[in-house]
Amino acid sequence: MPTYRFQNTDTGEIFEKWMYMAEREPYLKEHPNIVQMPTILNSVSSVGDFQNKTDGGWNEVLHKVSKVPGATVKPYK
């Protein structure tokens, strides 16, 4: 459920409200003194791959798993 930022144009108060996207337009129509404020988008990003984010312990686990009969896992080092 998205969080929206609103401002009361009568009082200047800025507040956040959780609601379904379908509820936003009816809410704004019912409250003409409320306007939606721009929000900063949250993003998640990553650089690199798993090999530069793990230590030698993970490679040890991969080595042990590779010894299980029928395993196709291989250590990366």
The confidence score (pLDDT) of residue 48 equals 65
CA angle 23, 24, 26 (to 5 degrees): 70
The confidence score (pLDDT) of residue 49 equals 66
The confidence score (pLDDT) of residue 30 equals 97
Contact yes or no for 20/26 (Cβ under 8 A): no
User: Which residue ranges make up each domain of the chain?
Assistant: 3-37
Q: Give the model confidence (pLDDT) of 39-68 as tens digits.
A: 777 666 666 666 666 677 887 888 888 899
